[in-house]
Amino acid sequence: MSDIKSYSVGYGDMFYVDHANGTFTLIDCCLREGSEDPILDEIEQLEAGKGITRFISTHPDLDHILGLTALDDRTRIVNFYCVENEATKADETDDFTHYCGLRGSKKAFYLYAGCKRKWLNERDDDRESSGFEILWPKLSNPDYQAALEAAKDGDSANDICPIIKYSLKHGASACGWATSRRTS
C-alpha cells in the first residue's frame, strides 16, 4: 500500500508519495524557518533504501520551492521533474536560482500531457509504475504558450503547472494542480 502525506506548511505546498513499488516521490517544497529539520529528517528516513526517488516541481513560485536548496543538500535530488520553462523572477532567491540549475540539468525530465517514463508511469520486469499520469500541459495549447511567455517575463508561474493524476492499482485516484485556471 502506498502512503500519501501533505505537510502543513502554511501558505505553500509540499507532499510525498511513498509508493508500494519501492519508489518515493516528493511534490513541491515549502520549508519554512523552524520546520526544516523535522521534515527533512522524515524525508531522509523515508527515502532510505528506495530504488528510485524523484522530486516533482509544479512551478517555481516561492511557496512551492522554498527550501529547495536545503532539500537538495540533504537528500540529493537525482530525478527532477518539471515543465520545460524559462521562468524568471525580478527578485531571485537562492532557491529560485537552485531551481533554475536543476531544470536545466541532466537530472531534469520535462512533464507534458501523455509523457511516458519508466517507473513514473510505465513498468518493467523489475518494478511497477508509480501510478502518475500527466494530463497537462498540452504543449501546443495557445493559453499554455502564453503562460510560458508570461512566466519568462517574470509574471506568475501558476499557469504553467502540470495537472497530474495519481492512481493506485485497484484503488483510489487523485488529480491535482496548483491553480484552477485551465483550458483544454
Q: How many residues does the chain have?
A: 184
Cα(57)–Cα(75) distance, integer angstroms:
15
pLDDT-derived band at 181, boundaries 50, 70, 90: very low
- Can you tell me the mean pLDDT for 165-171? 79
Q: State the Rg of the chain over Cα.
A: 16
CA geometry: angle 7, 128, 18, nearest 5 deg: 15
Q: Where are the alpha helices (DSSP H) in the chain?
A: 36-47, 62-65, 68-75, 94-103, 142-152
Asked if residue 81 lies in contact with residue 111, where contact means CB atoms within 8 angstroms, the answer is yes
pLDDT tens for residues 153-164? Answer: 999 999 999 999
Each residue of 97-136: pLDDT tens digit?
999 999 999 999 999 999 999 999 999 999 999 999 999 9
Of the pLDDT bands very low, low, confident and very high (cuts 50, 70, 90), residue 33 is confident
How large is the average pLDDT for residues 135-146?
98
**How far, in Å, CA of 160 to CA of 107, rounded?**
20
**For residue range 57-70, what is the model confidence (pLDDT) as tens digits?**
999 999 999 999 99
Q: What is the dihedral of CA 177, 18, 4, 26, to 10 degrees?
A: -40
* Residue-range domain boundaries for the chain: 3-176
pLDDT of residue 180: 37
pLDDT of residue 143: 97
The CATH architecture one would assign to domain 3-176 is 4-Layer Sandwich (3.60)
